[in-house]
Amino acid sequence: MLKLNQLRLEFADRVLFNDIDIFFGEEHKVGLVGKNGAGKSTLLKIIMGLQKPTGGMVIKPKDFTIGYLPQDLDFESDLSVKDEVMTAFEITQSLDRRIEEISHQLTVRTDYESDSYMDLAEELNHVSVQLGLYDVDHQEEQVERVLLGLGFTREDFTRPMNTFSGGWKMRMALAKILLQRPNLVLLDEPTNHLDIDSVEWLETYLKNYSGGVILISHDRYFLDRVTNRTVEIINGKTFDYPAAYSKFVELRTDVIQKQIDAKKNQDKEIKQTELLINKFRAKASKASFAQSLMKKLDKMELVEIDEEDESSMHFRFPPAPRSGLVVVKAEGLSKSYGEKKVLNNLDFEIVRGDHVALVGKNGVGKTTLTKIIAGLIPYDGKCELGTQVDLGYYSQNQSEELPVKATVLDVIDDEATGEMRTRIRSLLGAFMFQGDDVYKQVSVLSGGEKARLALCKMLLHKYNVLLLDEPTNHLDMRSKDVLKAALKKFDGTMLVVSHDREFLHGLTSKVMEIKDGVMSVFPGDITEFLAQKKAASIREFERVRVEKVVKAKPKPAVSEKEKWVLSKKVGTLEKEIETLEGKISGQKEESEKLDFSDHAKIKLHMEKLNEMEAKLLEKMSSWEKLSDKLNAV
């Protein structure tokens, strides 16, 4: 349980959070949404204690634990991957030590009835329960399962951690957080460094996670599959919806429409009242009536429409000059890094008009292949571009080619031609450069800002072939929608590397998969491809590999009477759980009928639901422990 109480954050020129009150329960899987700059990442930092608010506080229980994965993280270690991730269990060593300390004190003390003795006994029970959550007898298997799920191979386990890229180090950090099993997990764009298989594995893991989750993501599919609640930050306020992202969008539309209707009615009432005031204020006999109408207006609470400026930016590529029929042709294409062969004897063709998704686990050679096609790195075999091909290539390091002394506006102004010159500010706004941001020099931009600017610049050129390597990593949902809509209308040839299934859905007509150095080609879009591959990939990542024999512990001797008592308790709990589940189901059905513009009512409803779900978790935990004990006898 964690509560933000009257949370406020101010800067010199703006209020980022305006007295936020919100509750997060351990059973909640929350999607935190809002436009870029709304304060999503900042809110996670405040919850984690990395940034202090101007006012208010974060309230949480004494032993409440939080795991936090930021967008950017780079740490060094000389340990191997497996040994580094095993350090996640250091907490179990401290819990073990504490159990020994308390047990010793309880053994030597004789003041059995004292409050301090009872406190120690209670602490022993609490610490023992905490230790039990970590399944200390199977830690090695847990580590291997999580690492395999996040895309590491068994060969990677013994590699030094410092030989991996920043993206893979992020995966290691994520693995440690998941294994530590904190009460609340905070994830800021966790899918940015994952391939599609790993994203699907993480979805399943988080969906079944026993603690709370608050995550920021531009991946709609990921949010829909993981979350059961959406909190939107808009104009310094939070709006709480008991639904995943897609349902939230529907509910939000209804809320806005109700606010618009209420605003129209109020504006009409204000106008009529002002007419009456003007009519009667000059008449002595009606002056008091006019005064009462003026007081009524002064006291009237104006209806606010919470919607921000979300006017869509429609961008269309310049017509693509016609290329030859065969755009890219590879024969016997291979690429090795030292002794590791990444691409092995590939043969493929990309023809004019193809819109291709290039997929595969991280490290299989997707980026390598795009660099080969772009002519940036050497290779073995043959890879040729067709006639009259004008190729545009985007990758994360393309930003290095931007002129450092130019402003954001200068970069786009120099590239834009024709009708687009009149829409430069709108285009920059769609890629999250607003207000005075357009006058920033390239030299002061962050890595993400440079990446967005490089992408925006590339889209203005008359290319007939586009190679895009993870183009959505630094975009918010609105910017991603603008890019996708433009790419769908692009009449040239396109090869896209992306882990974002929602972005790829409906965008491409062919999928190329690289696996074990070999390429396979599938007709159809990414959704059809994943439907074919899903069962195999889930089995591969979910398979538990147990490589050591765990000795069975001797069963304790339990009397028939104790067994009967346990059985009765389990039966009672099962009935209570069934009753609670029915009440929770009814409460959730009522959620669908609520007026979401009535925030006070929503808050009370959510608090009641939270209380019921917390009670259910408590009873299920008790049922699980008693059932295990009963099964052991």
Cα within 13 Å of Cα(487), Cβ side? 30
The rounded distance, in Å, linking the Cα atoms of 584 and 586 is: 5
**Residue 322 contacts residue 389 (beta carbons within 8 Å):** no
Kindly list the averaged pLDDT for each block of 10 residues, start to end, along the chain of length 633.
90 84 90 86 93 92 88 78 86 80 86 85 80 70 89 89 81 90 92 83 90 92 93 89 90 82 86 84 76 84 64 68 94 89 93 93 86 94 95 78 88 83 81 84 80 84 91 80 88 92 90 90 88 51 35 47 69 78 76 62 70 71 68 62
Sign of the alpha-carbon dihedral angle for 462, 465, 467, 473: positive
The rounded distance, in Å, linking the Cα atoms of 629 and 567 is: 10
Phi and psi, residue 9, nearest 5° = -140, 120
As given in the structure block, the two tokens for residue 404 are: 């450092």
The pLDDT, as a whole number, for residue 592 is 61
**Residue 512 contacts residue 521 (beta carbons within 8 Å):** yes
Sign of the alpha-carbon dihedral angle for 487, 492, 496, 502: positive
Q: How far is CA 276 from CA 200, 272, 284, in A?
A: 63, 6, 14
Q: Which residue has the tokens 């740490």?
A: 75
Helical packing angle, 287-299 and 245-280, nearest 10°:
160
Helices (H), 1-114: 40-48, 81-86, 90-108
- One-letter amino acid at 611 equals E
H-helix or E-strand spanning residue 328: strand 326-337
**Residue 300 contacts residue 272 (beta carbons within 8 Å):** no
The rounded distance, in Å, linking the Cα atoms of 388 and 229 is: 51
Number of H helices, E strands in the chain: 19, 18
Nearest Cα neighbor of 187 from 74, 91, 90, 48 is: 48
H-helix or E-strand spanning residue 592: helix 560-593
Cα within 13 Å of Cα(490), Cβ side? 30
- CB proximity list for 64: less than 8 A, separation 6 or greater: 1, 2, 183, 184
The pLDDT, as a whole number, for residue 544 is 37
As given in the structure block, the two tokens for residue 67 are: 């795991």
Q: How far is CA 57 from CA 4, 54, 68, 212, 552, in A?
A: 6, 9, 19, 19, 48
**Residue 316 contacts residue 462 (beta carbons within 8 Å):** no
In the three-class reduction of DSSP (H, G, I as helix; E, B as strand; rest coil), residue 215 is classed as strand
The rounded distance, in Å, linking the Cα atoms of 376 and 44 is: 39
The rounded distance, in Å, linking the Cα atoms of 99 and 124 is: 6
- CB proximity list for 355: less than 8 A, separation 6 or greater: 487, 490, 493, 494, 496, 507, 508, 509, 510
**Residue 244 contacts residue 224 (beta carbons within 8 Å):** yes
